[in-house]
C-alpha cells in the first residue's frame, strides 16, 4: 500500500454461520465438514476502497448493511473471511459505547487503561490527563466506577481519550448520537481541528447532513456490498433514494396484503395506495445508470415538478438578489391524477451543502388552521388529472453572500401535519440563485441577517 493511503480495504468479505439449534454447533464439529448444519450469512462481500491520509470518509447504509462489521475489521477486532485490510498509523476507534472500559474501574483508572490499550506509557497519559479530564467534563464522577455513568458521561470520557492522544486514524461509529447537543458541538469542533492537523477520519452516522458536511467522500453499503463510493453529497443522495425506494416497496407490500385480504373477505374495495400512511420521506438521488436529471430526482410519480424558477417581486426573472429583496420561487407542476391534500415545498441549501431553510404550502396551511383563519388552504384545493398548475413561494431575502441551491418537492399529505407524507416528486438542483452584498449600503457577516440593532 502506498504511503499516501491511510486505509486500504481489498476484496473484504465476512461470513457468519447461523445455527437453528445450539446442538447443531456440536454436530458441525463432529461432522468434520462432511455436512453443513449452518446457514451462511454474508455480512460483507467483496468490499474494496482506499482512504488517503488526512481524508475524511463517511460510511452510510441501512441497519444491517455491514457498517459496524467493516469498522471492526478495519480496527482489527474482527478477522475477515477473505480479503485484506492494511492501515498506516495509530488507530483510535469509538465503536460500541463502553468497549475497552472496565465497569468496576473509575473514570480516572479507565483513562489510563485506554491509554495503555492505545500503546501509551503511563507518563504520556500523565501529561495528557488534565486535557482529557477537562474535555470529558464529568466533574467528581471521574473517580466513581463507570458502571454508575450515564451513556452520555461514558461517551464523554471515551471520546476525550481517543481524541486527546492525537491518533493518525480516528474511527467513529454512531457513538456521538448519545451525547447532548452542546457536547456534540464540541466533538465536531475537535474533529474538524484533527482533520486540519492531517488526521484521517472514518465516520459512520445516520445523520446525513453531518456526513455531507464533515466528510469529503463516502461509501454506501447495501446488503454488505459497496453500492456507491464517491463525493459525499452524491453518495448521500443515492442513500436517500435507496431509503425512499425501500419504503415505497415496504408500504406497497402492505397495500397488496390489505387488498388481497379485503378481496378474499368480499369487502368493499379501498384505494389503499392513497390511504396508507407512509413514513416521512427520505430524499435521495442515484449515481449510476441514469441521466443527470434522473439522478437528481425521485418520487412515486402521481404528480411532477415541471420547472422551478426564481423571480423578483415585479415578476422579472432573476438569479441574483441582495439582502432585503423579495425572492419569488415559482413551482410549475402537473398532476396525473385528480387529487387534493397536496403540499408544494422547497429546501434551500448553500454551496457547502448545509440546509438553510425548508418550507412548503402545508406550513402556511397549518398556521392558518391554528389561527382559525378563513383563508383558503392549498391542502384542500383539488387539482384535476392532467392539470398544470403554478405555486409561488415568496421570501424576504435575509441570507448572507453565497450561492444557493433550490430543491423542489411535491408530496401527498394524508393529514395536514407532515405526519403521513408520501413524496410524489423530489428534485435536487431544481434552481440556483446567488446573494450578493452592497457593502456601502447594508452589510453584515455570516449566513443570515439577524437584523441586529445597537442602542446606548
What's the pLDDT score for residue 159?
A: 83
Could you tell me the CATH superfamily of domain 293-435? abc- transporter (atp binding component) like domain (2.70.50.60)
- Asked if 282 and 209 touch (Cβ cutoff 8 Å), the reply is no
What's the pLDDT score for residue 379?
A: 95
What's the pLDDT score for residue 172?
A: 85
- Asked if 379 and 365 touch (Cβ cutoff 8 Å), the reply is yes
Q: What is the DSSP string of 363-428?
A: HHHHHHHHTT--S--GGG--B-TT-EEEEEEEEE--BPSEEEEEEEEEEEESSTTSSSEEEEEEEE
Which of 90, 81, 80 is closest to 7 using CA atoms?
90
Q: In what order do the strands lie in the sheet with 91-94?
A: 91-94, 169-173, 200-204, 56-60, 217-222, 225-231
Question: Rounded CA gap, 351 and 261, in Å?
Answer: 50
Question: Rounded CA gap, 72 and 321, in Å?
Answer: 49
- The domain limits of the chain are 5-234, 293-435
What's the pLDDT score for residue 2?
A: 58
Question: Rounded CA gap, 255 and 270, in Å?
Answer: 10
Tens-level pLDDT at each residue, the chain (456 residues): 556 889 999 999 999 888 878 777 777 777 766 777 778 889 999 999 999 998 999 999 988 899 989 998 998 888 999 999 999 988 888 776 666 688 888 988 988 888 887 778 888 888 888 888 888 888 888 888 988 888 788 888 888 888 877 788 988 887 666 666 677 777 888 888 888 888 999 998 887 878 888 898 999 999 999 999 999 988 988 888 888 777 666 655 655 565 455 456 544 433 443 443 433 333 333 333 444 455 567 888 899 999 999 999 999 999 999 999 999 999 999 999 999 999 999 999 988 778 899 999 999 999 999 999 999 999 999 999 999 999 999 999 999 998 999 999 999 999 999 888 899 999 988 999 999 988 778 889 888 999 999 999
Question: Rounded CA gap, 170 and 192, in Å?
Answer: 12
- Asked if 395 and 449 touch (Cβ cutoff 8 Å), the reply is no
What's the pLDDT score for residue 166?
A: 78
- 5-234: which CATH topology? Rossmann fold (3.40.50)
* Helix (H), strand (E) at residue 157: helix 151-164
What's the pLDDT score for residue 442?
A: 87
Helix (H, G, I), strand (E, B) or coil at 179: coil
What's the pLDDT score for residue 45?
A: 93
Question: Rounded CA gap, 354 and 208, in Å?
Answer: 11
Helix (H, G, I), strand (E, B) or coil at 155: helix
Amino acid at each position: 500500500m502506498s504511503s499516501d493511503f491511510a486505509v486500504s480495504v481489498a476484496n473484504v468479505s465476512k461470513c457468519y454461520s447461523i445455527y437453528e439449534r445450539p446442538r447443531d454447533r456440536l454436530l458441525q464439529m463432529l461432522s468434520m465438514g462432511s455436512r453443513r448444519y449452518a446457514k451462511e450469512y454474508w455480512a460483507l462481500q467483496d468490499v474494496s476502497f482506499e482512504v488517503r491520509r488526512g481524508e475524511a470518509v463517511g460510511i452510510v447504509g441501512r441497519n444491517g448493511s455491514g457498517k459496524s462489521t467493516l469498522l471492526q475489521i478495519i480496527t482489527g477486532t474482527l478477522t475477515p473471511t477473505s480479503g485484506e485490510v492494511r492501515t498506516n498509523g495509530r488507530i483510535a476507534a469509538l465503536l460500541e459505547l463502553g468497549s475497552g472500559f472496565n465497569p468496576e474501574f473509575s473514570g480516572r483508572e479507565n483513562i489510563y487503561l485506554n491509554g495503555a490499550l492505545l500503546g501509551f506509557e503511563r507518563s504520556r497519559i500523565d501529561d495528557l490527563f488534565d486535557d482529557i479530564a477537562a474535555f470529558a467534563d464529568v466533574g467528581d464522577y471521574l473517580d466513581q466506577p463507570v458502571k454508575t455513568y450515564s451513556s452520555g458521561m461514558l461517551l464523554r470520557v471515551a471520546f476525550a481519550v481517543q481524541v486527546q492522544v492525537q491518533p493518525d486514524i480516528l474511527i467513529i461509529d454512531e457513538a456521538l448520537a448519545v451525547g447532548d447537543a452542546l457536547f456534540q458541538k464540541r466533538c465536531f469542533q475537535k474533529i474538524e481541528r484533527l482533520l486540519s492537523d492531517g488526521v484521517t477520519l472514518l465516520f459512520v452516522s445516520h445523520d446525513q447532513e453531518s456526513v455531507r458536511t464533515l466528510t469529503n467522500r463516502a461509501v454506501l453499503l447495501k446488503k454488505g456490498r459497496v453500492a456507491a463510493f464517491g463525493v459525499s453529497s452524491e453518495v448521500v443522495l443515492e442513500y436517500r433514494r435507496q431509503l425512499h425506494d425501500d419504503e415505497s416497496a415496504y408500504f406497497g407490500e402492505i397495500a397488496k396484503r390489505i387488498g388481497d385480504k379485503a378481496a378474499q373477505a368480499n369487502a368493499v374495495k379501498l384505494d389503499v395506495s392513497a390511504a396508507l400512511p407512509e413514513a416521512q420521506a427520505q430524499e435521495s438521488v442515484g449515481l449510476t445508470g441514469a441521466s443527470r436529471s434522473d439522478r437528481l430526482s425521485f418520487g412515486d410519480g402521481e404528480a411532477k415538478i415541471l420547472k422551478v424558477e426564481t423571480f423578483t417581486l415585479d415578476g422579472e426573472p432573476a438569479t441574483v438578489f441582495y439582502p432585503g429583496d423579495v425572492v419569488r420561487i415559482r413551482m410549475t407542476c402537473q398532476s396525473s391524477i385528480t387529487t387534493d391534500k397536496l403540499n408544494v415545498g422547497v429546501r434551500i441549501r448553500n454551496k457547502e451543502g448545509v440546509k438553510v431553510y425548508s418550507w412548503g404550502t402545508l406550513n402556511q396551511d397549518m398556521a392558518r388552521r391554528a389561527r382559525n383563519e378563513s383563508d383558503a388552504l392549498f391542502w384542500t384545493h383539488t387539482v384535476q388529472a392532467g392539470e398544470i398548475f403554478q405555486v409561488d413561494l415568496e421570501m424576504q431575502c435575509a441570507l448572507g453572500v453565497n450561492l444557493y441551491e433550490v430543491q423542489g418537492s411535491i408530496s401527498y399529505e394524508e393529514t395536514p401535519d407532515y405526519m403521513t407524507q408520501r413524496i410524489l416528486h423530489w428534485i435536487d438542483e431544481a434552481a440556483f440563485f446567488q446573494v450578493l452584498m452592497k457593502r456601502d449600503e447594508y452589510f453584515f457577516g455570516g449566513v443570515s441577517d439577524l437584523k441586529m440593532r445597537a442602542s446606548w
